[in-house]
Amino acid sequence: MALIRIEGDDLVVVIEGLDKLWAFKGSLTIPLANVRGATVDPGIATEPKGIRAQGSHVPGVIIAGTFHQDGEKVFWDVKDRSKALVIELADEQYARLVLQVDDPRATVALIESTLAERR
């Protein structure tokens, strides 16, 4: 699971527990200027992931790490698809982040309200 917080002008994603091992990454820091938006999307975990670069994919158990799909890099950290959210990015290493968080709706509201304040 991931923890998401806003620190100054950055969106900070901290990967928790063993997910760091499966995802080959412990955290991501993205400038808010490069965050296009966020949505709750529990169905995304059933869609094709693309080609795994670094990470793990055990169907029905975990999707974690970097995947290449349709010419884009996507970072995943999802075990429970009912708690999945998608963060769309611009001008970043990843085109999107697909993450499991404790409360997806509250996290999307935090991201969207922060972006609205800055526009």
pTM, two decimals, is 0.92
Q: CA 37, CA 53: separation in Å to the nearest integer?
A: 25
Instruction: Assign domain 2-118 to its CATH architecture.
Output: Roll (2.30)
- Give, for 53, the enclosing helix (H) or strand (E): strand 51-58
- Counting residues of the chain whose pLDDT is more than 70, the rounded percentage is 99
| pLDDT tens, position by position, 29-58 | 999 999 999 999 988 877 767 777 888 888
Q: Quick one: residue 34, left, alpha or beta (phi over 0 = left, psi -120 to 50 = alpha)?
A: alpha
Average pLDDT of every residue of the chain? 92
If one compares 54 and 11, the residue with the highest pLDDT of the two is: 11
- Is 90 exceeded by the pLDDT of residue 61? no
If one compares 72 and 119, the residue with the highest pLDDT of the two is: 72
| Structure-block tokens of residue 24 | 């080959």
- Is 70 exceeded by the pLDDT of residue 6? yes
